[in-house]
Amino acid sequence: MRGSVAEPCAGALADMYEALGGIVIWYGKPHETIYRHALKLGGNPPADAVLAVGDSLQTDILGAARMGFDAIFVTGGIHGGEPFPGDFSARHGLGDWQPIAQLDSLS
């Protein structure tokens, strides 16, 4: 989001490139590789010492959940004030995982 305007992100561009037959190597959120890199840079803390904060269900929150991190879902970002979906964890095979909190914004 730039202000209140949604703009295409790298993932959307990669999706379009794949649809055209291109090869994409996924490295960022929600993929484990980027989290392992970040954990290494941070001294390899245990998962229960990590708090993820994000506004994207499909990248920030899904990645945190898959890694076993606690997370805060910022509802005022790209999801436009929508609450955390009740079926999110079930749809992604996450058991009973839920964010520890939901905030409208960080300000």
pLDDT for 54-84, tens place per residue?
A: 999 999 999 999 999 999 999 988 888 889 9
Higher pLDDT, 101 or 79: 101
Residue 1 has pLDDT above 80, yes or no: no
Position 73 scores a pLDDT of 97
The domains of the chain are located at 10-103
Could you tell me the pLDDT band of residue 51, with boundaries at 50, 70 and 90? very high
First to last CA, the chain: 16
Residue 30 has pLDDT above 90, yes or no: yes
Residues present in the chain in total? 107
Q: Give the span between the Cα atoms of 65 and 80, in whole angstroms.
A: 21
Q: Give the span between the Cα atoms of 91 and 75, in whole angstroms.
A: 19
User: DSSP characters for 80-105?
Assistant: TTPPPPTTHHHHTT-TT---SEEES-
